[in-house]
Amino acid sequence: MTFTAHCNQRWRAAVACMALAALIGVARASATAGEADQGVLNGIDVLARDGFKQLEGRKVGLITNHTGLDRFGRSTIELLHQAANVELVALFCPEHGLKGVLDVKVADSTDPLTGLHVFSLYGETRRPTADMLRGIDTLVFDIQDIGTRFYTYIGTMGMAMEEAAKHRIQFVVLDRPNPITGTRVFGPLNDGDGRLTAYHTIPVAHGMTIGELARMFNAERDIACDLQVITMQGWKRSMWLDETLQTWVDPSPNMRSLTQATLYPGIGLIEACKVSVGRGTDTPFEVFGAPWIDGRKLAARLNRVGCKGIRFVPYRFTPDASKFKGQRCGGVQIVLTDREAFDPLETGLTIVRELKSLFGEAFDVDHVNNLLFNAAILEKVKASTEPRAYAPLWQADLERFLRIRKQHLLYD
């Protein structure tokens, strides 16, 4: 072989090696991209991927609603019903019913897909009874929460856990993301607990997933049920829902976007008062008002305070349902400018103070405590004579909660 031919052979070999390396790199990149493209896997996705082995041979009662879906849009009801190694025995639904469309007391029903009885946990009882649990050895919980203490689904979960412990039934939580991240923790702790809207002593915005909350409830409330959490894959605490590749499904009739879920811990505080929070409009929790509110005056005052990450625009609207149905309301539209900087509780309590200051007895301020559940904090807000930072009022309690919370977290 001549020297030139030898060099050509070596050059061709080197090119082949480089081509092979490039192909390997592309394959690895494609695999990584493929993993990234699938987004976060919920507990039901992990359960189905694993062939439902965690429920092998179990007789299951499923607590769920329309949000119980896998990443392909298949319902958890359908998946468990079709699983050959699992027997789905009964269904249970929370507030708003199995389809998530009711804003009234929910009655028992029959599921058209499976023919199974659907027991309501928002009707005559808030917790499963012994009769409902007959023939069940495992309760599975799969419902999307939104990260706010007074959203009732977590209270339903806690009460079901108590009954599971009482009847020696295993309790399995199929975990899902906290849509407003697992890092944002805001607000005072509630005075009392055990209610559907204040089941455990936690801040208004708790920064936990339903699986983490289940662990906390089980340990801190001495429920001691046989608890298993099917954890998510790929979820990080800093993720907002729009970073997970999860499809938004309205968790309840008036919770229609991630923006509304972000605003809800603050705006929801005034819902028990004589104020519309936009139910009966296209943008609930993005507007609020009443026939007696001067929106220009209120927007000017709120913008002058300078709550971080948010602005207020004078707005008029006429709800076609719920509070002030058919009545023209003055109020404000809320513009979220920086969701990371936004503090829902500072904003919510600032709104409370300004409504009281501007409109006096027309605003029934004491009803704020129907969801705040902290009378001392509300009294300090009522006594404020000028805008102030409220967070220092509950900071010590919040720090104690964060130390306890840390013991029950499942994700980085």
- Read off the pLDDT of residues 25-41 as tens digits, 9 standing for 90 and up: 433 333 334 445 789 99
Percent of the chain residues past pLDDT 90, beyond the cut: 90
Number of domains in the chain: 2
Q: Is residue 69 located within the same domain as residue 213? A: yes
Residues 210 and 87 grouped into a single domain: yes
Task: Give pLDDT, residue 387.
Answer: 87
**78 and 162 part of one domain:** yes
pLDDT in tens, 170-227: 999 999 999 999 999 999 999 999 999 999 999 999 999 999 999 999 999 999 999 9
pLDDT, position 2 = 46
User: Is residue 31 in some structural domain?
Assistant: no
User: Higher confidence at residue 99 or residue 36?
Assistant: 99
Could you tell me the CATH number of the domain that includes residue 179? 3.40.50.12170
Domain span at 60? 43-251+402-406
Contacts of 241 (CB under 8 A, 6+ apart): 177, 179, 180, 248, 258, 261
Structure tokens, 107: 């009655």
Q: Note the pLDDT tens digit of each residue in 324-354.
A: 999 999 999 999 999 999 999 999 999 999 9
In a 10 Å sphere around its CB, with 0-12 CB exposed, 13-18 middle and 19+ buried, how is residue 160 labelled?
buried
Does 28 reside within a domain? no
Considering the domain architecture, whether residues 146 and 202 belong to the same structural domain is answered as: yes
Kindly tell me the burial class for residue 224, based on how many C-beta atoms sit within 10 Å of its own C-beta (0-12, 13-18, 19 or more). exposed
Sign of the torsion formed by the C-alpha atoms of 310, 313, 314 and 316: negative
With respect to residue 212, please indicate whether it lies within any of the assigned structural domains: yes
For residue 344, what is the domain's CATH number?
Answer: 3.90.1150.140
In b/e form, how buried is each residue of 21-50, taking b as 16+ CB within 10 angstroms?
eeeeeeeeeeeeeeeeeebbbbbbbbbbee
